[in-house]
Amino acid sequence: MDNRHRKGRPFSTVLECAISRRQVVKAGLTALVATPLSSLAETKLSPVVSSALLGFNSVAVSDLIDDVVVPRGYSAEVFYRWGDPVSDGPSFKMDGSNTAQEQLQQAGMHHDAIQFYPITTDSSLDERGLLVMNHEYIDPQILHIGGGVFDQPLQFSAEKVLKEQYAHGISVIEIKKDNTQWQIVRPSSLARRITATTAMTVAGPVAGSDYIKTEADPDGKVILGTFNNCSNGKMPWGTYLSCEENVNGYFKLSNPEKKSDKQQLAWQRYNFGNSYYGWHQHDQRFNLDLHPNEANRFGWVIEFDPFNPTSQPVKRTALGRFFHENVAHKLAKDKRIALYSGDDSQFEYVYKFISAKSWDGTPGAHHGQLLDEGVLYVARFDDDGSGQWLPLVFGLSALTKENGFDSQADVLVHARLAADAVGATAMDRPEWITVHPDTGAIFVSMTNNSKRGKEGKPAKDAANPRDHNNFGHIVQLNEQDAADLQFNWQIFTLAGAEQDKQSTIYGDGYANPDGLMIDDRGVLWVQTDISASKLNSGAFEAFGNNQMLAIDPVTGESRRFLTGPVGCEVTGVAMTPDLTAMWVNIQHPGDVPAKLKQQGQVKTPDYPNAASNWPDKAENGRPRSATVMITKDDGGIIGS
Ligand code: FEO
Ligand code: CA
Ligand code: CA
Ligand code: CA
C-alpha cells in the first residue's frame, strides 16, 4: 500500500454524496454498496483486487507503425475511412485527386467523437442504426495533391478551399447487422454530410444580436457551416450535439488595432490572429479585417436531428461561446436538463448549463428548444474539495455595464471574459466530460498544461495539483442533483506511469487523457492524446502510441484495451446498447512523432506516408483517419 495515493483526497465526503443518491442496478456495482466507505480508498489502491468489471488481458504498450491492437479474443476491423462514400457516391482515390464535389459525398477527414443511434422498426429482421461522427480538422498535405496553402501558395485555389471545407464537419452513415457483422448501408436515404458551408439557424439569446450580424446575414439568423467539430453529445430526446473547438485557426486577422478596444480584447482572449488554412484567400468571410463578426459565429454547440437528413442544424447560443470539447448531460429530479462542457485551452474553465424548463421524457427534436432558455454557469473549484457553479448572467455580480458587458448576448459571445470576471478556476485544459449512468458522478479529463506554475502563470492548486502538468489528470465531481449549484470534487487520477512518483495510476499507465465515456455497465473508457511533438520520446516513450484504456471507476484499476498506429490520436467511442459492438476513431495516423522527426523523417505532399500508411498500407498510399469496429470473437460484451 502506498500512502502517497491518499494525499489530499476528500474521498469520504464525495463518495457518501455519490452513494446516497444512487440507485444500484448493475451487478458490477453491488460490491461497492457492501464496502464500508472508509475502506474505499484502499479498494482503489490494493494491488491484489482485480476488477470484476474488466475481463480482458491488457495489450502491451505499442510503437507499431501501421496497426491497431486489441486484446486476445477481440477483433478490430477498419470500418469507415476518410474518403469512403457516405452513401453510393464516388469512391476514394488514393492519389488525393478526388474533387471538392466528390469529397462532399465522402467521409471527412480526422474523425473525432462518434455516437450510435439505434433505428427501431417493427418489420425489419435486421438490426439497424446510425453512426454520427465529427471530422475535426484536416491535414492539407494528405488531403490534396501538392498540399495546402503553405506547401504551394501559388497553386492554392478556390477548389482546394472548398475541398478543405467539405472535408470538415459531420458524417451520418446508416449501418445494419447482416448475419453477425455490422456493415454500412449503401445507398442510404439517411446518409448525410454536414460541412463548413452547411446553412444553420441560430437560437438562444445571441440570435439576431449585433454581435453576429454580417453583410451577408444582416439579421444575424443564419450561419454557414461548422468546423473544428471536436467532440459531441447526445440528447435524451434523440438529437446529436457537435462542439466547435479551436475555431480561431480558420480566420485571418491582420489589423486588429483598427477595431475598438473591446473587440481587440475579445480577439486576444480567444486567440484570433493566424489562419492555418488560408481560406480567406478565396472565401472572404474568413477575413476578420473585412468581416469582424464572423469570429463570433463560431465556437458554439450545434444540434440536429440525425434521423432527418434535411433537418437544419441549430447553433444553441445559450450554451456559451468558447472552445467546446464535448457536452455531457444529466437530468435533474425535476427533469430540467444540465449540460456540462469544458473549454480546451490552457487555464480555461468547466461550464454547466441548466435549462429553465423540464423535459417531458418524450422523444423529438423539438425539445432542443429547452437548450435556448436557462442559465450558463462556470465552475470554481475550492481547495477544500467543494465547488460552486457561478452564474454568467448579465447584470449579476461582475457582469455589468460598468465592467464592459452590455447584454446577455455579450456575456455568451464572450463567455471566457465573463468567466474571468466572476472568478472561475483556471484548469489544465478541460477535455471530455462523462457522467456515470448510476451514480451521476461526473468525470472531467484535464489533458495537460505545460505552463502551469511558470512565471506569470497561475500556480498549482488543489484541483490542478502539478506544476508543469505533463501527463494530465482526471477530476471527479459529485452533485446531489443536476440542478445543484454546489458540488464536491476530488482528483480521480493523476496520470503517468504506475511507477511514476507523481501519478496515482493503479494498473496500466497512460498520459494525456482526453476522450472519456462511461458505458452502461459502468466501465470508464479513457482515450489518450499525446501530441506528436512528444510521442514515443523522452518521458513519453514509456506510454508508446496513443491508446484506449478501460478503467473501473470504483477500484480505479486501468487496463490497456487498444493501441493505435504511430502518430494517431485515439478519440471517439460508441457502442450498441447491448455493448457487443464498439466503434473507435483513429485520428490523424501518420502525424510524424518526435522520435521519427529526430531521425529526419519529414512528411510532405509528395511523401504523405512518412510516418504511417495505416489503414490501407498501399504503396505510395496516404494515411487515413478511420473508424474501427471492435467485436468480441464470441459475440460477448466488450470489456467483460
Ligand atoms: Fe479536439 Fe480538445 O480536442
Ligand atoms: Ca479531444
Ligand atoms: Ca487533446
Ligand atoms: Ca484531436
Report whether residue 343 contacts ligand 1, using a CB cutoff of 6 Å. no
In a domain, 539, yes or no: yes
Q: Using DSSP, state whether 377 is helix, strand or coil.
A: strand
Q: HSE on the CB side for 502, CA within 13 Å?
A: 15
Task: State the pLDDT at residue 49.
Answer: 52
584 vs 57, 614, 625, CA distance in Å?
A: 19, 15, 11
Nearest to 160 by CA among 181, 170, 145: 145
* Interacting residues of 39 by C-beta distance below 8 A, sequence separation 6+: none
Distance 493 CA to ligand 2 centre (A): 18
Give residue 340's pLDDT band: very low, low, confident or very high (50, 70, 90). Answer: very high
Region 595-620 average pLDDT: 94
Average pLDDT in the chain? 92
Residues 316 and 331: beta-carbon distance below 8 Å: no
Percent of the chain with pLDDT over 70: 92
Task: State the pLDDT at residue 619.
Answer: 87
Q: List the grid coordinates of 471.
A: 501527463
Report whether residue 431 contacts ligand 1, using a CB cutoff of 6 Å. yes
In a domain, 56, yes or no: yes
Record the pTM: 0.93
Distance 309 CA to ligand 1 centre (A): 27
Report whether residue 596 contacts ligand 1, using a CB cutoff of 6 Å. no
Report whether residue 174 contacts ligand 1, using a CB cutoff of 6 Å. no
In a domain, 171, yes or no: no
Give residue 123's pLDDT band: very low, low, confident or very high (50, 70, 90). Answer: low
Nearest to 410 by CA among 394, 391, 397: 394
Report whether residue 410 contacts ligand 1, using a CB cutoff of 6 Å. no
* Interacting residues of 209 by C-beta distance below 8 A, sequence separation 6+: 220, 407, 409, 413
Strands (E), 153-253: 169-178, 181-184, 192-194, 199-203, 222-224, 229-234, 240-244
In a domain, 546, yes or no: yes
Q: Using DSSP, state whether 610 is helix, strand or coil.
A: coil
Quick one: three-class SS letters along 187-203?
A: CCCCCEEECCCCEEEEE
Give residue 122's pLDDT band: very low, low, confident or very high (50, 70, 90). Answer: low
In a domain, 67, yes or no: yes
Pick the range with the lowest mean pLDDT from 36-40, 169-173, 206-210.
Answer: 36-40
Q: List the grid coordinates of 256.
A: 486588429
Does position 219 have pLDDT exceeding 60, yes or no? yes
Atom of ligand 1 minimally distant from the CA of 246:
1
Report whether residue 569 contacts ligand 1, using a CB cutoff of 6 Å. no
Q: What is the pLDDT of residues 77-88, one digit of tens each?
A: 999 999 999 999
Q: What is the pLDDT of residues 129-175, one digit of tens each?
A: 999 999 999 999 999 999 999 999 999 999 999 999 999 999 999 99
Task: State the pLDDT at residue 124.
Answer: 59
Q: Which domain holds residue 537?
A: 1-79+496-583+604-640
Distance 432 CA to ligand 2 centre (A): 7
Does position 1 have pLDDT exceeding 60, yes or no? no
In a domain, 90, yes or no: no
In a domain, 554, yes or no: yes
Q: Element (H or E) spanning 524, and its range?
A: strand 524-528
In a domain, 52, yes or no: yes
Region 253-257 average pLDDT: 96
Q: Using DSSP, state whether 632 is helix, strand or coil.
A: strand
Number of domain units in the chain: 1
310 vs 84, 117, 305, 313, CA distance in Å?
A: 21, 17, 9, 9
Nearest to 61 by CA among 415, 490, 540, 442: 540
Nearest ligand to the CA of 110 is 4
Q: What is d(CA 15, CA 296) in angstroms, rounded to the nearest whole number?
A: 41
Residues 553 and 434: beta-carbon distance below 8 Å: no
Q: List the grid coordinates of 229.
A: 467539430
Report whether residue 244 contacts ligand 1, using a CB cutoff of 6 Å. no
